[in-house]
Amino acid sequence: MMQFTLISLLREVSNCVGTLNPHKEEGFKLVMEMLRQVVELHPGLNALHIGADEVYMLGEGELSKLWLASSGRTVEQLFLSHVASIVKYIKKEWPHMTIIMWDDMMRGMSQDTLKASGIVGFVQPMLWDYTPNLDVDKTGMNCNLAILYLNNIAIVTIFSPSEHDILSQ
């Protein structure tokens, strides 16, 4: 979606199609409209996965740099404030909706940071890993935080055997 010309103006940085600028109201409105359409097309829907993964360029845009320049602000807070605004909107529009999101951007965040975000109890993190065996000590570091502070947790491991593995069988 972010590769289209009109939508490209909503990117955090111009050369990164995967990160929405959290400071642009038009981006928020676009996300809410997309969610509204999904809910409308799926009567009886009771869960929404909002993604929120792999936004590694967050904080690199000019507006984000200005926001971060204010004393004590972090990229973690920027991420969580954007997620919290989306979660708040979803809960206002569809109070029954379970909200799921990927965990990768929350890995390593402190309990205090997560707690202060306002998303605790409103989202279910879904842990993912691309390896055949989930290394809970590595990937699941945030499991303890999720169990302590969020509703539920789901774990997904995605493994695609290499061509060599397939040919040698």
Catalytic residues: 54
* SS3 annotation, 106-151: HCCCCHHHHHHHCCCCCEEEEEEECCCCCCCCCHHHHHHHHHHHCC
* Residue 1: other Cβ atoms inside 10 A: 11
Give the Cα separation of 45 and 81 in Å (integer). Answer: 25
Hey, which residues does 48 pair with through a beta bridge? 99
The DSSP secondary-structure symbol of 11 reads: B
Distance of CA 24 to the CA centre of its chain: 17
Hey, which residues does 154 pair with through a beta bridge? 126
3-class secondary-structure state, position 90: helix
